[in-house]
Amino acid sequence: MPVSDLIEWLDEYGGPGFIWYVKRLSGNDTLANESHQAGPYIPREVLFGFLPTLNQPTVKNPDVWFDLYVDSHSDHQQVRAIWYNNKLHGNPKGGRNETRLTNFGGNASALLDPDSTGALTIFAFDRVQPPEIPQCHVWVCRHETEEDLVEDRVGPVEPGKWLLWPPTQEGLLGLLQAAPVRASCWLGDTEIPSQWRSKFPTGAEIIRKAVELRPDSSLDPDRRLMRRRECEYEIFRSVEQAIELPHIKAGFATVDDFIARAQTILQRRKARSGHSLELHARAIFIEERLIEGTHFAHQPESEPGKRPDFLFPSVTAYRDGSFPSDRLRMLAVKTTCKDRWRQILNEADRIPVKHLLTLQEGVSENQFREMTHAGVRLVVPTGLTEKFPKSIQPHLQSLESFIADTRLLDL
C-alpha cells in the first residue's frame, strides 16, 4: 500500500467530523507480552469522551461494542470497549480501574500483532451525538516514512505519551492548558529567564534547568534519567506556552500566518524530541564521573561521514588500531527503535556489537531476534523493562549496568 494512501486517509479522517487519539503501541497493548489484558489502552477520561455510555461507575465492568476499521491493514471488527472497574466493586486494593479495547481476534489484527509494538497509531473517532455510537477508523503506521508523515501533522509522539488531535479543548497545539501544581517542573511566568522569552532556549539549556530542579543524586542513573525526562518536558511546555500563547491569543491576520506559526511550534517540538534523550544521557555520564574526551566521546566522527552518538572510551582509542576492538563500545540513542534501529548498523565499523539506548515500551520477539542477529543490544531504563516480553527481559541491559561496563574499557 503506497504512502499516498496514508496521505488520503489523513485528509479524509482529519476533518472536523473526527477527533484523533494518537499513541505508540506498547508491549501491553499488543500480544508481545502475552498478556491476557492485550488490547489498546485508552485513558478513561479520553474513552468516556468518545463513548459516554461507558461511564457507568455503579455497573461492574461496563462495556460498549462498536465498529472499528483498521484501514492501514484492510481489517474490520466489532470491538469491545470495557471499563475494568472492579476496584470500585469490592476489590479496592488489588482491583483494576482502567479502560481498554478488546475483541480484535488475536494477532491477526495489526493492533495486536507483536511486530506492531512501538508503531505510531491513530484512532480516529467520528463525532456523533449520544446515544449514537461512533465508528473508529485506525491507521497503524507500517514504517518510518509513515510515522514521519503523521508527526509532521501532529508533532512528536513519544513512548508512553499520547495526544488528542485536534486539541480543541486546549487551543492551538495543546498550548492552552492549566499549569501543573508546583510539585512539578512547570515554570511560572516569574521563573522563566528573560533571555528565554526573546530567544527560545536550546535543548542543553532546558536540560541544565531540569538537572537543577531534579538533581536526584541519590537515584540510580535509570531512575534519574526517567525523572529528568519528565521534568524537562514540563519545562519545555511551560516555556513554549509563555512564548507562544500571547501570539495565539492575539490572533492571526491570514491563514498563512497561522500555518507558519503552527509549523514553527511543531518543528521545535520535533527537534526537542529528537535530541532530548541523547543530551540527558551525556549529562548523566558526566555525573557518573566519566570524563568527556577521556572516557567517552559525544558525536565523534568514527569514519568519514559517520557520527555515532557516543563512543567509549575515546576517539583516540577507537582510531588506535592496536587498541583491542573488544574494549570499544558504541552507544546509539533513539527514543523509539521499531524501524530506526537499522540506522545504527553502519556506524563505528570497528565495533561489531552496537548498544542502543531506547525508551520504546517493548519490542516483539521476532524483532528482538532480528536485532540480536544484527549485533544490536538494547539498553533500557529499568522502569521500562516490564514492558518487554519475559523472554527478552533477561537480555536487556540497564543504563547503570552499561555505565559500569564502560568504566573497565580503558583499564
Cell of 207: 536540560
Contact criterion met (CB below 8 Å) for 231 and 211: no
Residue 333, H or E segment: strand 329-333
84 is an active site residue = no
Q: Which of 13, 21, 233, 318 is catalytic?
A: 318
Distance (Å, rounded) from C-alpha 91 to C-alpha 85?
9
Contact criterion met (CB below 8 Å) for 126 and 18: yes
Distance (Å, rounded) from C-alpha 314 to C-alpha 328?
8
| Sheet with 354-357, edge to edge strand ranges | 297-298, 310-312, 329-333, 354-357, 376-379
Residue 368, H or E segment: helix 365-373
Q: Angle, nearest 10°, between helix axes 144-154 and 3-13?
A: 30
Q: Angle, nearest 10°, between helix axes 399-406 and 221-250?
A: 120
CA proximity to 32, closest of 392, 355, 383:
392
Transcribe 106-162 into DSSP letters: GGGSTTT-GGGTT-EEEEEEEP--TTSPPPEEEEE--SHHHHHHHHHHH----TT-E
Name, in order, each residue with C-beta under 8 angstroms of 97's C-beta and a sequence gap of 6 or more.
44, 84, 85, 87, 88
Q: Which residues are catalytic?
A: 318
